[in-house]
Structures are given as C-alpha cells and as structure tokens.
Amino acid sequence: MFLINPQQNTSSQNLWHILCDFDGTISLTDTTDQLLETFALAGWQDIEKQWEQGLIGSKQCMQQQIALLHMDQQALYQCLDQIEIDQGFLDLVQLTSLHKIPLTIVSDGLDLVIRYILSKYNLAHLPIIANHLVQVNEHQWRLEFPNTNMACKSASGTCKCKIAQNHHQEHIILIGDGRSDFCLAETADYVFAKKSLIQHCREKQILHTPFKKITEIHQPLEKLLKSDFELNSTVMVIA
C-alpha cells in the first residue's frame, strides 16, 4: 500500500515523468566521492566538512573539489570500471519502457561519469541532466553548471526543482536518496526514498515509499503507472 501526495493539484490526464537521482540511488557508491578518494590532492576533505556543516552549498563544494582532481582520462575510466549499479535499475528501465513513461537521470553529480557508467550497461540512451565535467588539460578538470538556479534552496549545481518545473504538465515521480533531492521531494507527485531522504520525508510529512534496493520499487511503481485516478483527491491509497 502507498499514498499519493495530496498536496499536489494536477490532472490525471497528464503523463508521468520519472526523475531519478544517480549517485547512491542507481550507483552503489557515490561516484564523486570515489574519484576524490582516489585522485584528489590534499584539501578536498576540508571542503567536504564545510559542506557537511552547511557553510557552503554543494555547487561551491563540488566546484572546489573537482579542481583538486589530478588524473588523466584513462585513469578516470579505469576507476569508473570498478563502479557498479543496482541491478534492479535495469528492470526499472524495462518497466518504464513498457509503460512508455519517460525516465530522466537528474543528478548533482558529473555528466561524463554518469554517461560512461550507464554505457557499460547499454543504457547510454537515457537522458542525463547533471553538472558538466570538463577536462582542462591532461590531468586537470573543472566543473560547469548548465542547470544551476541562483534561488535553489539546496544551493546545488543542478537544481532539481528547476528541472521539474520544465515538466509542470506531467506528474513527477522522484526516486532519490539524499540532500539534493530534498527540495524536489516537497513538490513531486510521488516519492520513492532511501537513506537520508527517508528521514527528510518523515520530518516534512511527505508521503513516500522507502526502499533500500530498486527492486523494491517495481511492484508499487507498476501499480501506480497502471492506475487511473485524480491526484487532487484528499488522499489516494493504492493497495
């Protein structure tokens, strides 16, 4: 059983659109942390502590940390070859394809990294919205933010609420796990949450389905996609 967010006022005639986080949601580990632990020069952990303490946003944090990476492209790809994804995501992609539901990866991570990892699983066709990783020279990199929003509550490089606003005529399903998902969780039509996003949803009284592995999403999501209902009802329960 799960509940539809009663705060949203949308029409059932609109289409669903799934916005799915990548790091820690699709990937089993945080890819940016993996790169920093492997290739970053001294100082990146101090920057991380500033972010953890709320002194800086994730945009500023990642911009400074990526500038400390020292690796060539071959070393980058060799590191990414060690990163695996939740195998349940493969079935999730098939499920959304079956129902003709668009699935977009929306991440505050690195576009090149996400694209490379997805390509290993023949998922390069999936649209990706993320921060843009640029190689400056053989060993140096920088981060660009094509999806930033100065008013972003999370001070993220990729503002997920801004992305969702571009799909305002669709029902938004969020699948996420962390701080970059907090703002969108408050406006999405439905939320599948893991890790710290679960606690946030509980504190903000956001209706959600908690999960640890993506396979746990399949059954409730399929029921949701097959249903025919008005989301502006007081509370909708699907058993």
pLDDT of residue 152: 87
Q: Residue 239 has what pLDDT?
A: 30
- Give the pLDDT of residue 224: 84
pLDDT score at 1 = 42
The confidence score (pLDDT) of residue 6 equals 47
Written as six digits, the tokens of 59 are 């945009």
Residue 238: what pLDDT? 34
Rounded CA separation 118/227 (Å): 30
pLDDT of residue 231: 46
CB atoms within 10 A of CB 183: 20
DSSP string for 155-203: --SS-HHHHHHTTTTSEEEEEE-SGGGHHHHTTSSEEEE-THHHHHHHH
> Cα angle vertex 123, ends 75, 184, to 5°?
95
What is the predicted pLDDT for the residue at 2? 45
The predicted structure's pLDDT at residue 103 = 97
What backbone torsions phi and psi does residue 169 show, to the nearest 5 degrees? -90, 5
Per-residue pLDDT of 193-206, as tens digits, reads 999 999 999 999 99
Count H helices, E strands: the chain? 10, 9
Indicate the burial class of 203 (C-beta count within 10 angstroms; 0-12, 13-18, 19 or more): exposed
Q: How far apart are CA 127 and CA 234, in angstroms?
A: 33
What is the predicted pLDDT for the residue at 5? Answer: 54
**CATH architecture group of domain 2-238:** 3-Layer(aba) Sandwich (3.40)
End-to-end CA distance of the chain: 4
What pLDDT, on the 0 to 100 scale, is given for residue 153? Answer: 82
Q: What is the pLDDT of residue 141?
A: 99
Mean pLDDT split into 10-residue runs, the chain, 239 residues:
47 74 98 98 98 95 99 98 98 95 98 99 98 98 96 91 90 96 94 97 95 96 72 36
Q: Give the pLDDT confidence score for residue 11 in this predicted structure.
A: 41
